Each structure stands twice: as structure tokens, then as C-alpha cells.
Amino acid sequence: MKRFILPLSVLLYPAAYGQTKNHPVKKSVTTHSQTYQPPVFTDPDRLTKIKAALPVVEKLYREYAEKNNFPGLAFGVVVDDQVLYADGYGYTDLAKKTKASGKSLFRIASMSKSVTTMAILKLRDEGKLKLDDPAYLYIPELKAMPLLTTDSPAITVRNLMTHTAGFPEDNPWGDRQLDTQDEALIKLIQDGLSNSNVPGVQYEYSNLGFAMLGKIISHVTGISYQQYINDQIFKPLGMNNTLWEYTKAPADLLAHGYRREDGQWKEEELLHDGTYGAMGGILTSIEDFGKYMAFHLAAWPPKDGKETGPVKRSSVREMQQPWTFNNLNTKFSYPNGRNCALVSSYGYGLRISRDCENRLFAGHTGGLPGFGSQWWIMPEYGIGVIANGNLTYAGMNTVNFAVMDTLISIAGLKPRELPVSPVLKQLKAELVKLLPDWTESTASGIFAVNFFPDKSLEIRRKDTQQLFAKIGKIKNITELIPENQLRGNFHIQGENGTLNVYFTLTPENPALIQQLDVKQISK
């Protein structure tokens, strides 16, 4: 005969495990719906309000371009699945007085990086490589290359994607390597690279690392990384006017780059396409790149339904995670002077920031001789902004933050709101019936195995009865505010005060209440 040994907690707290002295528990809750409830925008006039704010957006960009003496500037706003607005200021060709527009083709420099990592993730999803593979599996010359210390781990594909390979920051040098060919990259590796750190321990921006990612794409696919990205990312997204080689751009659309020296404009030389284009070689327009931004926005929120893009939505969201800490700016302030600390990290070819108001930004800057650009999206708000200038290292961070902050303020934008999941709604109703006397609580079947051992029924009853007595007659019970599918809080409002009721559920199916906190929040 089998022997069943009950845990000590069952013997000490039988009620918590569905056992009473006189009768077994009669569970009133046996199933909960597992239907996922994605966050939604609740304002039906949201798009109309954003459109109404666009004249202010245009004014901000134009004034910024004038103040900073840009030859030309193209800018746009992306909302959800569309480029809502695209325009330009000044000229893309000063000699011919060609006006900048949403169709003008600017070299977007390091904004190219996330496209390269998207291609890597597509290959990963197809089982053709792994992110934690040593990079030398695809660039064999790396295996013999000495690293900084003898205990250094091998450089991985993920290290290259997150600027943690141990290579030094190389912006001034890397910007002039754009047209370098594969042979030169391989020779550079064979000659031995100088490392500033060991792999995997510290963020340090490396254009060289992204040139290697381009080489990895070519190695795995058997075609150039440019052709692979054209076929697998640009074409599926309808980015038909995005290219790598400037000589293939229509003359009336190509933006020329400039530097201001000695009181006059000097045109920067446009470099041809090459191995380092994977780090910064793309030429594109506001209208075309806006489609790429819309695809990033469309990955949110997680949802059921058919995949419609070139890469899985989950992989796009993976790109936007803060994989490597970069910086904490406690003195960051918005252009209107409002102080708001900002923490920044690096994802996969993307800069990730979150401000003191818990607002999330994902995007990238771009800078080359003759050009400066930046794009940001705010996935929780469903908006994005982009600005491309043809001035050497033109900074766009200030104006883009101003535009997003202004859009949110003028249009009264709110982040997506999470609906109450069926299980939270059901268990809230059960709790309301039980409080404050906890009658039949042990027989309700809604509490997890830890619940009453963590705090006895007698203490819970005493504490809640005292709190309910303080707030007096109940006037209203508010809707539950969810934190996620399995956690949330609601208020019980009385004549003399308000209680906050917070509870969180277990990973079981059905999910049960594992923690409940009832606290007075006002008198």
C-alpha cells in the first residue's frame, strides 16, 4: 500500500489546503478564462488630435533648422501603421536649390544599424545561426585574433549587436570606412585588432562590430548583406526607394552633405557603398523609413493573429529590449526646461531610453560627414518621429524630444490602457463578497496554498474589519486597475476614507490569489 505524507504546513494550516475539521472545501471557482487582453487606446479622437497638432510640429522643426543653420532638413511623424506627416525645410542641393521633402534621400548613417540586426534575427529565427555563437564560426579569421586577456571569452554575434565585443569606440575612424571592401576588413582582423576591453562586460560603441555583422549575413546567406536586406526586409515593407549606393539615387532626390567652415558651405564627399555600409550606409527618405518605423510600432502590443511582416513581432520587440546599460543622465531636461532623469541602454542596433515619467523610447541617431539624423518611437503611445539633416553630425535629439513631448501634451495622448483580464475581474468580485468578514473564505477556493500560512485568517479578519470600520459606510467600489494579466488593485470608498485593495495571482491554472494587501490611502 502506498503511503502519502502530507507536508508540515498542511498539518498546521489545514484550512489553507482546502481541509476543515468537519467537511471538505466546496470550491466556488474552478475555471478562469485565459483569454489575453492586450492594451488599447481608449480615446476615439486620438488620431484627429494628433493631426491638429501637426502645425506646431512643423514650426518646431523649421525653427530648429533655422536656428542651427541647416542647409536642409526632412522630418516626419509616424502614428501606428502609417506615415502621418512628412515635409522638408531648406535644400538638399545648395548649388541647384533643390528643396528638401519627405521624398528626399538622405544617408542616415547609424540609423542603418537596426536594419542589420533585424536581418540577423531573421536568420536566427530561421535556424541559420545563434546569437550566442562565437563570431569566428562565420568569420574564421577571428578565432586566431588575440583578445585583451587570456581569460577573455570568444566574441559572440550578440556581443557585436550590443556593442560589447570589447572594441574601442570608433566613430571618427569608422565614419571614413564606409566604402571599405571585404578584403580590407579581413586583413584588419588578421593583423590583430586593438581591444579596449574584454568581450561581454561593457558597452562601447563600435562601427567595426557592425561591419562584421554584415560579413556574417553574407557568409550565412551566400549573397551580399545588401541584397539580403533588400530582398528580405525592404521589399516586404514596401521600402522601394531605399538604397545603399548613392550613384543609383535620382539626382533630384539625393541629399548632398555639407560642412560649415570659414563662413561658407563646403560639400562633403559622398562615399560609395562597401563592407561598412552595414553600420551606416543606407540612403532613404522620411516616407520610406517611416514604413520601417511603423513596422516597429506594429509589434506592440503583443497579440494573437497572423504575422504580416518580414520578421516575427516577438523578434522586433526583442530588438527593443535594453540589453546593455549605457548611461544614467540624472540632469536630463526636456527642451521646455522640465527636469526628468533619463536612463539609456542599447538593444539590438537600437538605443533604448526611459524617462522619469516611465515613458519608453526606442530608436537611433545617425551621424556622418555631411549628415545627421535620428528616429524615435514611443511604443506605449504608438507614435514616432524622424528627422534627417544634411549638415555634418547634425544633432536631432533636442528637437525630436521636443516634438514628442509637445505632441503628447497638445493632443493629450495617453499610453495604451490594459483591460481587466477575465480572471482578475472574476476574483475581484469574489473578494468583494468576502471582505471584511472573510465568511466562508477557506471554502471559496480562490486562495493559493501559501495565503493563510503567510497570515492567518484570524489576523486578516481582524485587520480588515478595523479598516472597514474606519472608512464607514461603503459608497463606491471602483473599477480594477490592472498592472498585467494577473495583478491589479481597486479602491473601496467609504464615507470617511478610502481603502486600496491590491492582489496578485499565482502561475497556476486556474490562477489563485497569493498576496492581498488592504491599506487605507485617505481619510
Please state, in angstroms and rounded to a whole number, the distance separating the CA atoms of residues 449 and 447: 7
**Strand-pair partners of 499:** 492, 520
Phi, psi of 58 (to 5 degrees): -60, -40
Mapping DSSP to helix (H, G, I), strand (E, B) and coil, where does residue 108 land?
coil
Q: In the chain, what is the straight-line distance between the N-terminal and C-terminal CA atoms, in Å? A: 61
Which tens digit of pLDDT belongs to each residue from 373-415? 999 999 999 999 999 999 999 999 999 999 999 999 999 999 9
How would you write 197-265 as a 3-class SS string?
A: CCCCCCCCCCHHHHHHHHHHHHHHHCCCHHHHHHHHHHCCCCCCCCECCHHHCCCCCECCCEEEECCEE
Mapping DSSP to helix (H, G, I), strand (E, B) and coil, where does residue 180 land?
coil
Q: Evaluate if residue 101 carries a pLDDT over 90.
A: yes
Q: Evaluate if residue 504 carries a pLDDT over 70.
A: yes
Kind of pairing, strands 98-99 and 82-93?
Answer: antiparallel
Residues 6 or more apart from 419 whose CB is under 8 A from it?
Answer: 37, 38, 39, 40, 482
Which tens digit of pLDDT belongs to each residue from 111-158? 999 999 999 999 999 999 999 999 999 999 999 999 999 999 999 999
Of the candidate ranges 26-30, 31-35, 99-103, the one whose mean pLDDT is the lowest: 26-30
Q: Which residue has the cell 523649421?
A: 62
pLDDT at 24: 35
pLDDT at 123: 98
pLDDT at 349: 98
Give the model's confidence band at 32: pLDDT under 50 very low, under 70 low, under 90 confident, else very high.
Answer: low
Q: In 17-147, where do the E strands start and end?
A: 72-79, 82-93, 98-99, 106-107
Tell me, what DSSP letter sits at residue 403? H
Q: Evaluate if residue 8 carries a pLDDT over 50.
A: no
pLDDT at 336: 84
- The letter for the amino acid at 242 is T
Whole-angstrom CA distances from 435 to 9, 164, 432, 439 are 25, 53, 6, 8
Neighbours of 472 (CB within 10 A): 11
Alpha helices in 299-396, H assignment, sequence order: 313-319
The mean pLDDT of the chain is 93
pLDDT at 26: 40
Peptide bond into 146 cis (omega under 30): no
Peptide bond into 172 cis (omega under 30): no
pLDDT at 386: 98
Report percent pLDDT > 90 for the chain. 91
pLDDT at 34: 66
Q: In 301-397, where do the E strands start and end?
A: 324-329, 342-346, 351-355, 360-368, 371-378, 383-389
pLDDT at 237: 98
pLDDT at 162: 98
Which tens digit of pLDDT belongs to each residue from 333-367? 988 899 999 999 999 999 999 999 999 999 999 99
Question: Once rounded to an integer, what is the mean pLDDT over residues 315-321?
Answer: 98
Entry pTM: 0.90
Question: Once rounded to an integer, what is the mean pLDDT over residues 237-257?
Answer: 98
Q: In 381-424, where do the E strands start and end?
A: 383-389
| Most distant pair of Cα atoms in the chain: their distance | 97
